[in-house]
Amino acid sequence: MKKFSTSFSGYNKVEVNEFVKDVTKEYESMLNTLKKRDHEMEVLKQKLINYQNMEHTLNHALMVAEDASSQIKKMAREESKGIIDDAKRNASRIVNEALMRATKLEEEAENLQRRIINFKRKIRQSIELELENIEGIEEDY
């Protein structure tokens, strides 16, 4: 604490005025510092609000992305199920067509076999008939 010297009419006016000047300067300096800090606090508060808004926006974007991801996965599962079902139907149709063709080919093979057997029988009969004719001709002579 500052002590002042006394003079005839009280405290020394020069010392008191110097002290008041010093106190005023110190007060103004503190006031300026407080104003700067208040301004910095306002800037920081605004930045905090901006960051909170960004956080909210990012959280919202993340939720939207998660929903989109879930829907894409769901659609992919449904599409893959449809593709598998189509493939099964196509496979079943192809197998049925192959079985029908195989059955048809077997029937054709059996028909050819019967025709060959009939053809051989006819040729054999023709040959036997011709042999009988030849033997008949030999007997005639």
Our separate counts of H helices and E strands in the chain read: 1, 2
Tokens standing for residue 66: 């998660």
Residues 4 and 15 sit within 8 Å (Cβ to Cβ): yes
Tens of pLDDT along the chain (141 residues) come to 666 566 667 777 888 888 889 899 999 999 999 999 999 999 999 999 999 999 999 999 999 999 999 999 999 999 999 999 999 999 999 999 999 999 999 999 999 999 999 999 999 999 999 988 888 887 766
Q: What is the pLDDT of residue 5?
A: 66
Place of tokens 């598998």: 84
Tokens standing for residue 98: 């192959």
Beta strands in 22-83 (DSSP E): none
Q: Is the pTM for the entire model greater than 0.75? A: no
Q: Residue 23: how many CA atoms within 13 Å on its side-chain side?
A: 8
